[in-house]
């Protein structure tokens, strides 16, 4: 599995503390692999014990000390091993589909409102992603290597949110027509 690997990818790009990693996940890698600070701390300790990463304690003024992690040789080896290993395709998992499926057992109107709410949230995420795209990748055709990969991951997030909001629109329209 992969929180280990997601962290290794992030740490290879740049060393950082658990806290910093948690914030990075909220942005970039988190589009495809969300994680809370709790998970991250636990996995960091595990990887430290396994020798995949090393940490240095850094004393700070006015702030708590922090542990900055770097990827060790064993971690790099594990990462390349994992990159070459096939992975099971992901599955969708969204309670909203279950709600829609069961809508007629409760109030269709309430479920409709819920779908509108989700649509709004996903549209907000979409706007966030689009503004990142504009800011960080204004000329996609000029990208290469790591920057290109990062851009393509962002594109995945954008496409997923576009598709989801479009589905919500289809559902909302159909339910409105059916439920006058």
Binding flag, residue 82, DNA (CB under 7 A): no
Binding flag, residue 136, a second copy (CB under 8 A): no
Cα 45 to Cα 137: distance, rounded to the nearest angstrom:
34
Give the binding-site size for a second copy (rule: CB under 8 A).
70
Residues 123-152 that bind DNA (CB under 7 A): none
Binding flag, residue 23, a second copy (CB under 8 A): no
Minimal distance, residue 110 CB to DNA, in Å: 21
- Pick from 34, 36, 51, 131: which binds a second copy (CB under 8 A)? 34
* Contact range with a second copy by CB under 8 A, out of 24-32, 37-45, 53-61, 127-135: 24-32
Rounded to 5°, the CA angle 112-118-124 comes to 140
Binding flag, residue 129, a second copy (CB under 8 A): no
- Please report the DSSP string for the chain in residue order: --HHHHHHHHHHHS-B-HHHHHHHHHTTGGGTS---HHHHHHHHHHHHHHTSEEEEEE--SSS--EEEEEE-HHHHHHHHHHHHS--PPP----HHHHHHHTGGGS-HHHHHHHHHHHHHHHHHHHHHHHHHHHHH-S-GGG--HHHHHHHHHHHHHHHHHHHHHHHHHHHHHHHHHH--
Binding flag, residue 39, DNA (CB under 7 A): yes
Cα 16 to Cα 69: distance, rounded to the nearest angstrom:
5
Q: Please, which residue, 46 or 159, has the CB nearer to DNA?
A: 46
* Contact range with DNA by CB under 7 A, out of 14-22, 71-79, 106-114, 151-159: 14-22
Minimal distance, residue 150 CB to DNA, in Å: 21
Q: Which residues bind a second copy (CB under 8 A)?
A: 1-2, 5-6, 8-9, 12, 28-29, 31-34, 76, 79-80, 83-84, 86-87, 89-107, 110-111, 114, 117-118, 121-122, 143-146, 148-150, 152-153, 155-157, 159-160, 162-164, 166-167, 170-171, 174-175, 178
């Amino acid at each position: 599995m992969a929180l280990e690997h997601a962290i290794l990818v992030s740490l290879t790009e740049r060393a950082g503390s658990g806290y910093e990693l948690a914030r990075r996940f909220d942005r970039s890698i988190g589009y495809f692999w969300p994680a809370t600070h709790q998970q991250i701390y636990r996995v960091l300790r595990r990887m430290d014990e396994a020798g995949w990463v090393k940490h240095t304690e850094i004393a700070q003024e006015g702030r708590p000390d922090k542990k900055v992690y770097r990827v060790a040789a064993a971690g790099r080896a594990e990462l390349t091993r994992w990159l070459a290993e096939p992975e099971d395709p992901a599955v969708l998992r969204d309670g909203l589909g279950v709600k829609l499926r069961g809508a007629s057992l409760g109030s269709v109107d309430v479920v409709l409102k819920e779908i509108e709410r989700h649509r709004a949230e996903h549209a907000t995420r979409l706007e966030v992603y689009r503004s990142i795209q504009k800011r960080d990748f204004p000329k996609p055709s000029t990208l290469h290597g790591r920057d290109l990969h990062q851009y393509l991951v962002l594109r995945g997030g954008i496409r997923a949110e576009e598709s989801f909001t479009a589905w919500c629109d289809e559902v909302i329209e159909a339910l409105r027509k059916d439920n006058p």
